[in-house]
């Protein structure tokens, strides 16, 4: 296991360097002059020339990459050209928000998706199976922004139970924080729950027809023990992989949901920064999310060891 | 009656009194997240909404676009219009306690002019030097007469920041701005909120009835409105025109509708690049006239803007004092358009219309395409992301381009940079020595009647060449809580905070 871990860790650094080059290089393919969009309505030529100098836009690409990566190694991700705020500060403001939303959404997805998948597989062909499948279809086919707006109209405008949007830090007011996060977390979690349910169901069906499950049943174990102890454990492997991937995607920001609920997370930041050609912000945020993604995949690999004793040997 | 009622419900009276005295917060929903909060560097419209609470200016404009005093109480032009003397308000301090005086004005004007990346440099270009006469008098010496200067000083170029803070913070000043407006900067979380707190030392503090202002950027108009309806906002700027009927039916809300000082138009490449010569629209003024005649402006306003726009054919709206009445809005005339195209030898001209990807621009493009088709035009729509479209416009890599301008209080701000030769916003590539002479002349005249006469001549020339086909002037649509009183409908679309009050 430790050998595996060391090997994986050794690949992380070159992967991140490659990712940083990719982010930097791909960004240059964006059409339009960033100085022009940053110069605003007036389009003053002296301002455009100044921004060109400031952003090193007239210098060769490798040199510009060197400026940026040199700063990254020193812990300086640069400043947002649009708002003058340091990129690290922006990330520090957004990361807890994105993290909380991602974890809450994942918790909702797991709480709904896995039990629904188990019930559906264990009771294949029953009303429960049909209900769980209908839920999955609904979850997969409902657009996030639409569900979000409908929920706002119902729970905020009509019933007045929850705030329509916005974010309150849990350290300021935990209840207000949860009230603000519950709708976006549900909207995001709902779609992932549907995916998890479908995967849990098919993995469970496969495992439930395996020989060792038949043996367990023949030994006279009750169905609950067979399903939850013997079958589920083996069925969890693909679900862990999927869960890690989905969580990684959530960490890179949920643009539409953040937009609808005005949650100041990574998704909104990165989209606005791309449209405003605020390169340093895009680079900083993508680097952080790429790191988070890679770390989550590593954690998923470690989770395999915990779940499957076969891998430990 | 009121007194009697109050006496009848003493408990309520007691309950209401402390409520009225409680700290009040005004929550404003913005359509975008503002850019940097430094008046010298700022570029966005929405940033100006925040500045209205944060940074006072030398002058302001009122509902009729008249220049009114703010930090300057009086002004006087020299006979040759090359010197502007300003009398400054006494007893004004910046949020850091520093005194506002003539030296601060000198510092600010020079900062606007010299700071690297300043967007105010062009606006204040004619100001050659600033002279401190005494602590309450300052004199601006101009290199040439420039009548739009007062209007410039009623916008960001007239905003005064604390010299001490500006020197200390340097380039980073915008992250923690220090001005002299009714509210001081508290915190900013990008894309989440900008919080301002009441400044106790404000010179006009009796007109300020809030302790705190929270500006929240909520880009989606539906969500912005939902926040207002659920009571999480007190004021939402720029609500969607399609929602306005629903808002009017809601007794808990009020609306304001103000004709913007900007415009929506279609810029035509008539000389920016070789592309102008390759297309009949850019090559022949008759084809451009035919294009304009094929458009039904009222129809466009109705379909694209749900009638929340005032049709127009010039850089200022027909209700503006400087509107040139000698060139009225042409009526749609498809037969005449066809005849013009025939005369030009191109009965079915084809051109590409670059349209930014905003929903308004896309809707406009489709309606224009369908209207122009009736006259024989084949309009191809090229939906292009805004940053890319701006680049294309600057390079002249377009035939026609849908572009809106947020507008300036003085007509010069809507005209000079677009129609004078080689100006940064002259994407059409229009250049005429005679027009340049008229535009420069208009800048030297202080008498509005005389300026209007010159603008009439400009209109007669420019609107015949049609570098820009002006279509309409959008209405600023604001929605706010019915409890909010004192909202002033100033045409620049910025929310003035003095006099605003939230009833209990």
Model pLDDT for residues B440-482, shown as the tens digit of each residue: 999 999 999 999 999 999 999 999 999 999 999 999 899 999 9
CB contact under 8 A, B227 and A166: yes
Q: Tell me what pLDDT residue B14 has.
A: 38
Q: Tell me what pLDDT residue A128 has.
A: 87
Q: Tell me what pLDDT residue B21 has.
A: 42
Contacts of B424 in chain A (CB under 8 A): 42-45
Q: pLDDT at residue B287 above 50?
A: yes
Q: Tell me what pLDDT residue B124 has.
A: 93
pLDDT band at B6; cut points 50, 70, 90: very low
Average pLDDT of span A25-30: 82
Q: Tell me what pLDDT residue B201 has.
A: 95
* Chain A, window 52-81: residues with a beta carbon less than 8 angstroms from a chain B beta carbon: 54, 80
- The pair phi, psi for residue B139, each rounded to 5°, is -125, 130
What would the pLDDT profile of A233-253 be if each residue is shown by its tens digit?
778 888 888 888 888 778 776
Q: pLDDT at residue B334 above 50?
A: yes
What would the pLDDT profile of B298-327 be if each residue is shown by its tens digit?
999 999 999 999 999 999 999 999 999 999
Q: Tell me what pLDDT residue A294 has.
A: 85
Q: Tell me what pLDDT residue A1 has.
A: 67
% of chain B beyond a pLDDT of 70:
95
Q: Tell me what pLDDT residue B20 has.
A: 41
Q: Tell me what pLDDT residue B56 has.
A: 97
Q: Tell me what pLDDT residue B1 has.
A: 33
CB contact under 8 A, B386 and A153: no
What would the pLDDT profile of B111-145 be if each residue is shown by its tens digit?
999 998 888 988 999 999 999 999 999 999 999 99
Q: pLDDT at residue B164 above 60?
A: yes
Q: pLDDT at residue A224 above 90?
A: no
Tell me which residue in B45, B175, B230 faces A160 most closely, judged by beta carbons: B230
| Helix spans in chain A (H) | 2-28, 34-38, 45-54, 61-73, 87-122, 127-141, 144-151, 174-208, 211-218, 223-225, 232-251, 255-261, 266-275, 279-307, 309-312
What would the pLDDT profile of A97-121 be if each residue is shown by its tens digit?
988 999 999 999 999 988 888 888 8
- The pair phi, psi for residue A283, each rounded to 5°, is -60, -45
Tell me which residue in B45, B119, B390 faces A47 most closely, judged by beta carbons: B119
CB contact under 8 A, A149 and B223: yes
Q: pLDDT at residue A19 above 60?
A: yes
Q: pLDDT at residue B3 above 50?
A: no
What would the pLDDT profile of A58-103 be if each residue is shown by its tens digit?
888 899 899 888 988 888 888 888 888 889 988 888 888 988 999 9
- The pair phi, psi for residue B340, each rounded to 5°, is -65, -40
Report pTM: 0.83
| Helix spans in B203-294 (H) | 221-229, 244-249, 275-278, 280-283, 285-293
- The pair phi, psi for residue B428, each rounded to 5°, is -70, -25
Q: pLDDT at residue B22 above 60?
A: no
Q: Are A255 and A261 in contact (CB under 8 A)?
A: no
Pairing between strand B468-481 and B484-485? unpaired
Q: Does an H or E element contain B356, and which? A: strand B350-356
Tell me which residue in B117, B189, B227 faces A164 most closely, judged by beta carbons: B227
Tell me which residue in B121, B385, B388 faces A44 most closely, judged by beta carbons: B121
pLDDT band at B23; cut points 50, 70, 90: low
Q: pLDDT at residue B2 above 60?
A: no
CB contact under 8 A, B230 and A47: no
Q: Is B406 on the interface with A (CB under 8 A)?
A: yes
Contacts of B170 in chain A (CB under 8 A): none
Give the whole-angstrom CA distance, residue B403 versus residue B424: 14
Q: Is B172 on the interface with A (CB under 8 A)?
A: yes
Higher per-residue confidence, B263 vs A270: B263
CB contact under 8 A, B390 and A260: no
pLDDT band at A137; cut points 50, 70, 90: confident
CA of A108 vs chain B CAs: smallest distance (Å): 24
* Chain B, window 212-251: residues with a beta carbon less than 8 angstroms from a chain A beta carbon: 216-220, 222-223, 226-227, 229-232
Preferred mutation among A55, A82, A93, A263 to probe B, highest tally of B CBs within 10 A:
A82
Q: Tell me what pLDDT residue A44 has.
A: 86
Q: Tell me what pLDDT residue A311 has.
A: 67
Order of strands across the sheet that contains B127-134 = B72-77, B83-88, B137-142, B127-134
CA nearest to B173 within chain A: A84
Q: Are B142 and B126 in contact (CB under 8 A)?
A: yes
* Chain B, window 13-72: residues with a beta carbon less than 8 angstroms from a chain A beta carbon: 33-38, 41-45
Q: CA of B4: how far to CAs of B9, B18, B178, in Å?
A: 9, 20, 48
Buried b (16+ CB within 10 A) or exposed e, B369-399: bebbeebbbebebeebbbbbbbbbbbebbbb
CA of B37 vs chain A CAs: smallest distance (Å): 7
Q: Are B53 and B28 in contact (CB under 8 A)?
A: no
Q: Are B340 and B349 in contact (CB under 8 A)?
A: no
CB contact under 8 A, A44 and B218: no
* Chain B, window 375-394: residues with a beta carbon less than 8 angstroms from a chain A beta carbon: 385-388, 390-391, 394
Q: Is A154 on the interface with B (CB under 8 A)?
A: no
The mean pLDDT value of chain B amounts to 91
CA of A24 vs chain B CAs: smallest distance (Å): 18
Give the whole-angstrom CA distance, residue B397 versus residue B275: 7
CA of B344 vs chain A CAs: smallest distance (Å): 35
Give the whole-angstrom CA distance, residue A227 versus residue A208: 8
Q: pLDDT at residue B7 above 70?
A: no
């Amino acid at each position: 296991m430790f050998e595996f871990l060391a090997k994986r860790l050794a690949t992380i650094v070159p992967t991140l360097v490659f990712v940083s080059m990719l982010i930097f290089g791909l960004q240059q393919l964006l059409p339009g002059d960033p100085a022009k969009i940053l110069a605003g309505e007036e389009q003053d030529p002296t301002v455009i020339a100044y921004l060109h100098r400031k952003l090193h836009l007239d210098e060769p690409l490798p040199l510009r990459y060197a400026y940026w990566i040199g700063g990254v190694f020193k812990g300086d991700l640069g400043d947002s050209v649009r708002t003058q705020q340091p990129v690290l500060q922006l990330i520090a403001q957004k990361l807890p928000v994105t993290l909380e939303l991602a974890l809450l959404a994942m918790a909702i997805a797991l709480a709904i998706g896995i039990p629904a998948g188990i019930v559906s597989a264990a009771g294949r062909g029953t009303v429960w199976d049909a209900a769980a499948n209908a839920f999955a279809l609904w979850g997969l086919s409902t657009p996030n922004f639409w569900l979000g707006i409908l929920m706002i109209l119902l729970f905020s405008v009509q019933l007045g139970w929850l705030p329509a949007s916005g974010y309150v830090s849990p350290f300021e007011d935990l209840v207000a924080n949860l009230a603000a996060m519950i709708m976006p977390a549900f909207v995001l979690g709902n779609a992932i729950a549907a995916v998890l349910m479908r995967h849990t169901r098919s993995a469970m069906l496969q495992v439930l027809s395996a020989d060792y499950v038949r043996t367990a049943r023949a030994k006279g174990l009750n169905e609950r023990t067979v399903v939850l102890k013997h079958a589920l454990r083996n069925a969890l492997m693909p679900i862990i992989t999927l869960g890690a991937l989905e969580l990684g995607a959530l960490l890179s920001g949920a643009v539409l949901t953040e937009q609808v609920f005005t949650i100041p997370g990574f998704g909104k930041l990165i989209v606005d920064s791309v449209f405003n050609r605020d390169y340093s912000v895009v680079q900083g945020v993508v680097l952080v999310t790429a790191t988070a993604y890679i770390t989550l995949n590593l954690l998923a690999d470690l989770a395999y060891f915990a779940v499957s004793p076969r891998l430990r040997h | 009656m009121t007194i009697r009622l109050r006496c009848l419900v003493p408990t309520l009276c007691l309950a209401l009194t402390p409520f009225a005295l409680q700290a009040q917060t005004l929550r404003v929903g913005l359509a975008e997240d503002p850019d940097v909060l430094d008046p010298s560097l700022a570029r966005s419209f929405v940033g100006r909404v925040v500045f209205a609470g944060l940074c006072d200016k030398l002058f302001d404009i009122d509902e009729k676009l008249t220049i009114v005093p703010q930090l300057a109480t009086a002004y006087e032009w020299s006979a040759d219009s090359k010197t502007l003397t300003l009398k400054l308000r006494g007893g004004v301090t910046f949020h850091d306690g520093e005194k506002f005086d003539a030296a601060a004005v000198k510092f600010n004007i020079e900062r606007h002019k010299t700071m690297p990346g300043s967007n105010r440099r062009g606006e204040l270009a004619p100001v050659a030097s600033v002279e401190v006469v005494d602590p309450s008098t300052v004199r601006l010496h101009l290199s040439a007469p420039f009548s739009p200067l007062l209007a410039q000083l009623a916008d960001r170029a007239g905003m005064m920041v604390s010299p001490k803070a500006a020197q200390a913070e340097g380039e980073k000043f915008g992250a923690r701005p220090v001005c002299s407006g009714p509210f001081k900067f508290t915190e900013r979380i990008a894309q989440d909120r900008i919080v301002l707190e009441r400044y106790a030392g404000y010179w006009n503090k009796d007109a300020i009835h809030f302790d705190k202002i929270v500006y929240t950027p909520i880009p989606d108009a539906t969500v912005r409105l939902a926040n207002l309806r659920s009571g999480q906002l007190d004021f939402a700027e720029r609500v969607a025109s399609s929602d306005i009927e629903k808002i009017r039916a809601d007794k808990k809300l009020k609306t304001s509708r103000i004709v913007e000082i900007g415009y929506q138009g279609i810029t035509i490449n008539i000389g920016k690049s070789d592309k102008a010569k390759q297309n009949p629209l850019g090559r022949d003024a008759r084809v451009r006239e035919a294009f304009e005649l094929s458009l039904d402006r009222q129809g466009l306003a109705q379909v694209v803007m749900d009638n929340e726009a005032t049709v127009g054919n010039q850089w200022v709206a027909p209700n503006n004092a400087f509107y040139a009445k000698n060139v009225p809005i042409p009526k749609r005339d498809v037969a005449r358009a066809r005849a013009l195209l025939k005369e030009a030898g191109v009965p079915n001209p084809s051109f590409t219309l670059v349209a930014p990807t905003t929903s308004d621009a896309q809707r406009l493009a489709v309606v224009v395409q369908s209207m122009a088709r009736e006259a024989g035009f084949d309009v191809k729509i090229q939906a292009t992301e805004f940053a890319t479209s701006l680049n294309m416009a600057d390079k002249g890599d377009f035939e026609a381009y849908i572009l809106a301008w947020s507008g300036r209080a003085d007509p010069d701000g809507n005209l000079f940079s677009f129609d004078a030769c080689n100006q940064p916003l002259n994407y059409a590539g229009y250049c005429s020595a005679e027009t340049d002479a008229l535009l420069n002349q208009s800048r030297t005249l202080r008498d509005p009647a005389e300026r209007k006469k010159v603008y009439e001549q400009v209109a007669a020339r420019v609107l015949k060449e049609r570098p820009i086909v002006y279509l309409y002037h959008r209405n600023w649509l604001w929605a706010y809580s019915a409890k909010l009183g004192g909202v002033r409908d100033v045409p620049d679309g910025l929310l003035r905070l003095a006099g605003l009050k939230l009833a209990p």
